[in-house]
């Protein structure tokens, strides 16, 4: 099965973005020969040494030269594994609006920089916009490596510099590839000139980056888009056959059509309809065209019927009674202003489009304007001009049902439409309660004890690795050593927690993500209380682990990631619980290392390999790394 | 359960979402239907989006009068099967009433005249949303066009002044007399279309599959012999096994030599093809590099 991946590219003028995209299209054979001939002809006429692949995607350059509005251009290519949609956006500051637009739906941000120039102000801006728009994966291509003698040191300096900046942003998955777009090194094929680079070439990375668990598959959200009632004759109906409704009298049919915005919905689920608050059960879920589905998940367009006849219309939200979005008319959001004809001012009124709702809203306050280059907050700003980003409070005429954008891009995004011109003047990312399950009226209650007043500073040591890698054995030893030395430490073992706290979770990507999130939250509580939380958890997906790291760092807590890098063959030979054998026999599906990927950390704080000795030698290494 | 959608299902879901947005937000939508494969796929997805209800809008065919018979037959069967209302806007009517003047000569084509007929039909029908089957991979100017593409009261597109389009929040706001062109298949490629046709067993006019017919060569393309084209001196008619990659006005839509007689064979051929479909078979697009952008501004499909 081939998956769809949306990619947003950003780079400054002449970093080689067009060349790189041209190279991807060319080397993956997405270029047709008539297009290529045209490019070769132009190159020849200009006397170029090489066929200038940048010409394949030169739409934006031409616009630039002609002084026309620069726009997002979409390009397509496919490999047997994936179909790619590239939103190609110009990188200059006056095109922030275009990058925001292209980034809004992207799974991966591809940021390009010139090896000779290193990390510039604009690279930081690109990273910031990508993180603001919640792009889950970021790949930094350090281009023109040929012009710096394929220098490993140059690449690593740029990588470290970029990474230290990205630490301040919410970037969960960050990778780096040294490339030469012009010569094709590390774009589709591995570079012969940079044998020191052991990561995959760009295309390989794009084909394999794990995107399935980026969607929110936990919190069920279904904004009703359209109510299907066949008994009301459609405006387009002719005299042809009328198809009967499915089962029973078509006069009773009432289907709620929409696109699942979060979680999983299946027949039998108890649901609540917001804002009315009526409850019912899902009677059936159908795909377009009527095929019955066992369940529907985020991004699927479906039609749902409920067991009770309720008055439901477009703009309502169907969700689970114990897991509701925030329902509020007061919205705290980051917005990017798009208009060059007007500016955003407190007191102004706009039409808000959010999920399937449209409501009028007033800008109550502009809290600050953010400098996209320095991230400096200017709280004296009186308005936002074209391409500016700021934090606002909106008051809507009727409540919206939303989640924070960082938890759900579908229920956390909005646009503002100017009623005077009908133009789209801003994009908004809703901030808000950090925890999804917090009821709207539950707020964080600060405690009277400061962390510094506690006996010792806590932290989390997180062991990740395949089943059978030896995580738990080392973790047990680490806990023992810590306690013996007088520290409070507590082992949180993934398998053990699945008996209680996580007994309701399975092993699908969404449940795994939730498992990691919960264990991360519990570890944070222990660490906050001054203990060393020792976590042993397969936690196969990089993005899930990085989220835990980010949330620790946001809380000012240390997070030490220990990668137990035992090769699969060894783990499988050990097979202490007989699980590999069962997975190979097809009795367990989605087993990490067998038919589900394990994504090793990019930059673990410590890597333990079999060569390091037995469990107690490894535990000593960990204790040394903690430096307590 | 891995909760992954194949790329075809993801594209279908996106298109379904767009159809439902329009049906919910506009007064009088209409779907442009020519019998060509993109419009057939568009109609197929539209019908699925509203199941089990009938399509909540009619379909419109802008008829140049220069059709191969198979296409009209197919069109009538398709709308009959789906029970939708078909409106036909005839270029001939605009020629008869003098609103447009027809080119003369053996190479004359009615392709450009369609714009006038289309805009007349939109204003007479007071349509506020018009679905088109255009794809962004077809051509440079289309690569930048929005899914919801605003048209002013003269039906014109202003590529310099498009509304930003984010997430799946489409802005269809417009005043009376203005309308929105909606392109649900924007992100599909020719190969996606064919793969979808194969997967869904979508019925197409027989012209899309290899068949024998008399053809002649002009400007490096094969044109079908029909009552609407004049074979010029030096152009030699011969019989060949061909299929069409697009279906448009018979005077300017070429065919390619091909033995692909069923969908799977066509998918294989398209996947291996090294020529864009417009580059291969559309004389109208060869006119100039900027051909499409100019025509789109005027209000063309
Ligand atoms: N030496 C070298 N030149 C490159 C490389 N990539 C791009 N260039 C050149 O850099 C210039 C700008 O590239 P282009 O792709 O047009 O940049 P864009 O403005 O980011 O789209 C062109 O002259 C390219 O040929 C590379 O990897 N090595």
**Cβ neighbours, 10 Å, residue A397:** 11
Can you tell me the distance from the alpha carbon of A526 to that of A530, in angstroms, rounded to the nearest whole number? Answer: 7
Q: What is the pLDDT of residue A247?
A: 45
Q: Kind of pairing, strands A73-78 and A82-88?
A: antiparallel
Q: What is the pTM of this model?
A: 0.77
Return the closest-CA partner of residue A7 out of A79, A100, A103: A103
Return the closest-CA partner of residue A25 out of A185, A180, A187, A209: A187
8 Å CB contact of B54 and A236: yes
Q: Is A72 helix (H, G, I), strand (E, B) or coil?
A: coil
Look at residue A409 and tell me whether its pLDDT is greater than 70.
Answer: yes
Rg (CA), chain B: 19
| Contact indicator for B144, A59 with CB cutoff of 8 Å | yes
Look at residue A488 and tell me whether its pLDDT is greater than 70.
Answer: yes
Look at residue A240 and tell me whether its pLDDT is greater than 50.
Answer: no
- Interface residue A100 vs chain B (CB under 8 A): yes
Look at residue A244 and tell me whether its pLDDT is greater than 50.
Answer: no
Angle in degrees, CA B87, B91, B94, rounded to 5: 110
Q: What percent of chain B has pLDDT over 70?
A: 89
Q: Of residues A213, A467, A539, A616, which has the active-site annotation?
A: A539
Q: What is the pLDDT of residue A41?
A: 74
Residue of A18, A288, A302, A418 to mutate for B, most B C-beta atoms under 10 A: A288
Can you tell me the distance from the alpha carbon of A156 to that of B74, in angstroms, rounded to the nearest whole number? Answer: 62
Q: What is the pLDDT of residue A440?
A: 47
| Contact indicator for A538, A467 with CB cutoff of 8 Å | yes
Can you tell me the distance from the alpha carbon of A435 to that of A251, in angstroms, rounded to the nearest whole number? Answer: 43
By Cβ distance, the residue of A78, A101, A215 closest to B164 is A101
Higher pLDDT, B133 or A62: B133
Look at residue B290 and tell me whether its pLDDT is greater than 50.
Answer: no
Look at residue A195 and tell me whether its pLDDT is greater than 90.
Answer: yes
Rounded to an integer, the average pLDDT of A574-589 is 86
Ligand 1 pocket: which of A12, A18, A39, A54 to mutate (most atoms <8 Å of CB)? Answer: A54
Min distance A463 CA to chain B CA atoms (Å) = 25
* Cα-based distances in Å from A71 to A61, A65, A247, A485, B160: 10, 13, 49, 62, 8
Task: Give the count of Cβ contacts less than 8 A between chain A and B.
Answer: 222
Rounded to an integer, the average pLDDT of B264-288 is 65
Contacting residues for A303 by C-beta, under 8 A, at least 6 apart? A228, A255, A256, A257, A285, A286, A287, A288, B51
Look at residue B285 and tell me whether its pLDDT is greater than 50.
Answer: no
Confidence of residue A200 (pLDDT cuts 50, 70, 90): very high
Q: What is the pLDDT of residue A532?
A: 94
Backbone angles phi, psi at B181, to 5 degrees: -85, 135
Nearest CA to ligand 1 atom 8: A16
| Contact indicator for B62, B115 with CB cutoff of 8 Å | no
Confidence of residue B101 (pLDDT cuts 50, 70, 90): confident
Residues with CB under 6 A from ligand 1: A 11, 13-19, 54, 143-144, 146-147, 180-182
User: Which residues of B fall within a CB distance of 8 Å from A354?
Assistant: 169
From the CA of A112, give the closest atom in ligand 1: 20
Peptide bond into A275 cis (omega under 30): yes
Q: What percent of chain A has pLDDT over 70?
A: 87
Min distance A240 CA to chain B CA atoms (Å) = 4
Q: How is B133-195 classified by DSSP, letter by letter?
A: ---GGG-TTGGG--SEEEE-TT----TTSPPP-BTTB------TT-EEEE-TTTT--HHHHHH
ipTM: 0.89
Secondary structure of B186-250 in HEC code, one letter for each residue: CCCCHHHHHHHHHHHCCCCCHHHCCEEEEEEEECCEEEECCCCCCCCCCCCCEEEEEEECCCCCC
Q: Is A159 helix (H, G, I), strand (E, B) or coil?
A: helix
**Cα A388 to the center of its chain, rounded Å:** 23
Rounded to an integer, the average pLDDT of A192-221 is 92
The dihedral sign for the CA sequence A384, A386, A387, A392: positive
Least confident stretch, A499-513, B159-173, B211-225: A499-513
Confidence of residue A590 (pLDDT cuts 50, 70, 90): confident
Q: Which of the listed ranges A234-243, A494-503, B28-37 does the model predict with the highest average pLDDT?
A: B28-37
- Interface residue B174 vs chain A (CB under 8 A): yes
Least confident stretch, A8-22, A234-248, B113-127: A234-248
Can you tell me the distance from the alpha carbon of B10 to that of B7, in angstroms, rounded to the nearest whole number? Answer: 5
Can you tell me the distance from the alpha carbon of B267 to that of B254, in angstroms, rounded to the nearest whole number? Answer: 19
Look at residue B55 and tell me whether its pLDDT is greater than 80.
Answer: yes
Q: What is the pLDDT of residue A239?
A: 43
Contacting residues for B80 by C-beta, under 8 A, at least 6 apart? A240
Rounded to an integer, the average pLDDT of B89-108 is 84
Tokens of B113: 């005249």
Confidence of residue B287 (pLDDT cuts 50, 70, 90): very low
Closest chain A residue to the Cα of B78, Cα to Cα: A240
Peptide bond into B52 cis (omega under 30): yes
Closest chain B residue to the Cα of A101, Cα to Cα: B166
Q: Taking all residues of chain A, what is their mean pLDDT, rounded to a whole number? A: 87
8 Å CB contact of B54 and A242: yes
By Cβ distance, the residue of B3, B54, B275 closest to A217 is B3
Look at residue B227 and tell me whether its pLDDT is greater than 90.
Answer: no
Q: What is the pLDDT of residue A60?
A: 52
Look at residue A159 and tell me whether its pLDDT is greater than 60.
Answer: yes
By Cβ distance, the residue of B51, B54, B279 closest to A32 is B279
By Cβ distance, the residue of A105, A301, A414 closest to B13 is A301
Higher pLDDT, A122 or A145: A145
| Contact indicator for B209, B261 with CB cutoff of 8 Å | yes
CA of A255 to the centre of ligand 1 (A): 53
Give catalytic status of residue A539 as yes or no.
Answer: yes
| Contact indicator for A389, A344 with CB cutoff of 8 Å | no
Q: What is the pLDDT of residues A285-329, one digit of tens each?
A: 999 999 999 999 999 999 999 999 899 999 999 999 989 999 999
Closest chain B residue to the Cα of A96, Cα to Cα: B164
- Residues comprising chain A, all counted: 628
Q: What is the pLDDT of residue A169?
A: 86
Contacting residues for B73 by C-beta, under 8 A, at least 6 apart? none
Confidence of residue A153 (pLDDT cuts 50, 70, 90): very high
Higher pLDDT, A66 or B166: B166
Tokens of A455: 């006996």
- Interface residue B219 vs chain A (CB under 8 A): no
Q: What is the pLDDT of residues A425-460, one digit of tens each?
A: 999 999 964 333 344 455 555 566 666 666 678 999
CA of A19 to the centre of ligand 1 (A): 6
Residue of A1, A4, A132, A291 to mutate for B, most B C-beta atoms under 10 A: A4
Report B:78-97 residues touching A (Cβ under 8 A): 79-86
Can you tell me the distance from the alpha carbon of A15 to that of A355, in angstroms, rounded to the nearest whole number? Answer: 37
Is residue A85 within a helix (H) or strand (E), and if so which, with residue range?
strand A82-88
Q: What is the pLDDT of residue A50?
A: 67
Can you tell me the distance from the alpha carbon of A13 to that of A61, in angstroms, rounded to the nearest whole number? Answer: 9
Rg (CA), chain A: 26
């Amino acid at each position: 099965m081939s998956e769809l991946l949306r990619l947003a590219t950003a780079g400054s003028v002449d970093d080689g973005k067009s060349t790189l995209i041209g190279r991807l299209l060319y080397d993956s054979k997405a270029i047709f020969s008539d297009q290529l001939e045209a490019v070769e002809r132009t190159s020849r006429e200009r006397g170029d040494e090489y066929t200038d692949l940048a010409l394949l995607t030169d739409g934006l350059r031409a616009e630039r030269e002609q002084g026309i509005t620069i726009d997002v251009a979409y390009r397509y290519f496919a490999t047997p594994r994936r179909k790619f949609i590239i939103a190609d956006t110009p990188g200059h500051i006056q095109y922030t609006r275009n990058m925001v637009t292209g980034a809004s739906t992207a799974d991966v941000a591809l940021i390009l920089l010139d090896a000779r120039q290193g990390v510039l102000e604009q690279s930081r801006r690109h990273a910031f916009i990508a993180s603001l728009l919640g792009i889950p994966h970021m790949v930094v291509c350090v281009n023109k490596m040929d012009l710096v003698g394929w220098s490993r040191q140059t690449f690593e300096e740029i990588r470290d510099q970029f990474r230290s900046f990205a630490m301040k942003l919410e970037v969960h998955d960050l990778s780096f590839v040294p490339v030469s777009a012009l010569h094709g090194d590390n774009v589709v094929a591995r570079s012969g000139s940079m044998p020191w680079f052991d990561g995959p070439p760009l295309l390989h990375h794009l084909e394999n980056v794990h995107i399935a668990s980026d969607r929110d598959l936990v919190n069920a959200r279904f904004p009703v888009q359209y109510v299907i009632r066949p008994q009301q004759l459609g405006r387009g109906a002719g005299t042809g056959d009328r198809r009967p409704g499915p089962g029973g009298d078509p006069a009773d049919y009432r289907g709620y059509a929409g696109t699942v915005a979060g979680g999983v919905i299946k027949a039998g689920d108890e649901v609540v309809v917001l804002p009315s608050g009526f409850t019912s059960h899902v009677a059936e879920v159908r795909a377009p065209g009527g095929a019955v589905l066992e369940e529907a998940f985020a991004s699927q367009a479906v039609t749902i019927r409920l067991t009770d006849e309720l008055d439901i219309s477009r703009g309502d939200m169907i969700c689970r009674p114990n897991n509701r979005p925030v329902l509020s008319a007061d919205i705290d959001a980051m917005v990017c202003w798009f208009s060059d004809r007007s500016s955003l001012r407190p007191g102004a009124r706009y039409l808000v489009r959010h999920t399937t709702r449209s409501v009028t809203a007033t800008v109550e306050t502009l809290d600050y304007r953010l400098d996209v280059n320095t991230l400096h907050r200017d709280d004296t700003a009186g308005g936002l001009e074209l391409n500016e980003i700021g934090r606002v409070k909106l008051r809507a005429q009727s409540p919206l049902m939303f989640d924070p954008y960082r938890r759900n891009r579908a229920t956390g995004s909005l646009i503002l439409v100017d009623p005077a011109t009908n133009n789209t003047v801003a994009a908004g990312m809703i901030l808000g309660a950090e925890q999804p399950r917090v009821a709207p009226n539950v707020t964080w209650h600060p405690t009277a004890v400061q962390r510094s007043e506690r006996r010792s500073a806590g932290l989390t040591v997180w062991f990740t690795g395949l089943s059978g890698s030896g995580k738990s054995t080392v973790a047990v030893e680490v806990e023992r050593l810590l306690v013996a030395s007088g520290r409070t430490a507590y082992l949180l073992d993934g398998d053990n927690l699945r008996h209680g706290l996580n007994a309701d979770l399975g092993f699908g990507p969404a449940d795994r993500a939730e498992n990691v999130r919960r264990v991360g939250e519990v570890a944070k509580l222990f660490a906050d209380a001054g203990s060393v939380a020792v976590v042993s958890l397969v936690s196969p997906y990089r993005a899930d682990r990085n989220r835990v790291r980010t949330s620790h760092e946001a809380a000012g807590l240390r997070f030490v990631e220990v990668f137990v890098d035992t090769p699969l063959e060894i783990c499988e030979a050990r097979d202490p619980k007989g699980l590999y054998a069962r997975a190979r026999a097809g009795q367990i599906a989605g087993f990490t290392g067998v038919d589900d990927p394990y994504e090793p950390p990019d930059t673990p704080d410590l890597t333990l390999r079999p060569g390091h000795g037995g469990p107690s030698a490894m535990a000593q290494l960990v204790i040394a790394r903690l430096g307590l | 359960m891995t909760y992954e959608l194949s790329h075809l299902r993801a594209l279908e879901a996106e298109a379904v979402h767009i159809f439902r947005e329009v049906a919910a937000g506009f007064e009088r939508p209409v779907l442009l239907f020519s019998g060509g494969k993109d419009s057939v796929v568009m109609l197929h997805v539209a019908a699925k989006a509203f199941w089990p209800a009938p399509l909540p809008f009619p379909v419109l065919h802008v008829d140049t009068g220069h059709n191969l018979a198979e296409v009209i037959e197919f069109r009538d069967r398709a709308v009959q099967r789906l029970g939708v209302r078909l409106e036909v806007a005839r270029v001939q009517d605009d020629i008869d009433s003098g609103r447009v003047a027809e080119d003369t000569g053996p190479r004359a084509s009615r392709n450009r005249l369609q714009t006038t007929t289309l805009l007349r039909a939109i204003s007479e029908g007071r349509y506020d949303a018009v679905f088109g089957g255009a794809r962004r991979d077809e051509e440079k100017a289309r690569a930048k066009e929005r899914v919801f593409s605003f048209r002013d009261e003269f039906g014109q597109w202003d590529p310099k002044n498009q509304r930003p389009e984010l997430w799946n929040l489409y802005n269809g706001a417009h005043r009376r007399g203005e309308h929105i062109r909606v392109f649900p298949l924007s992100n599909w490629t020719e190969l996606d279309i064919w793969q979808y046709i194969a997967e869904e067993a979508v019925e197409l006019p027989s012209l899309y599959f290899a068949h024998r017919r008399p053809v002649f060569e002009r400007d490096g393309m094969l044109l079908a012999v029909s009552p609407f084209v004049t074979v010029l001196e030096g152009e030699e008619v011969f019989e060949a096994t061909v299929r069409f990659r697009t279906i448009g006005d018979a005077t300017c839509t070429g065919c390619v030599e091909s033995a692909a007689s069923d969908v799977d064979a066509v998918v294989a051929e398209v996947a291996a093809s090294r020529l864009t479909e417009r580059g291969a078979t559309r004389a109208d697009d060869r006119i100039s590099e900027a051909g499409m952008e100019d025509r789109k501004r005027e209000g063309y499909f």
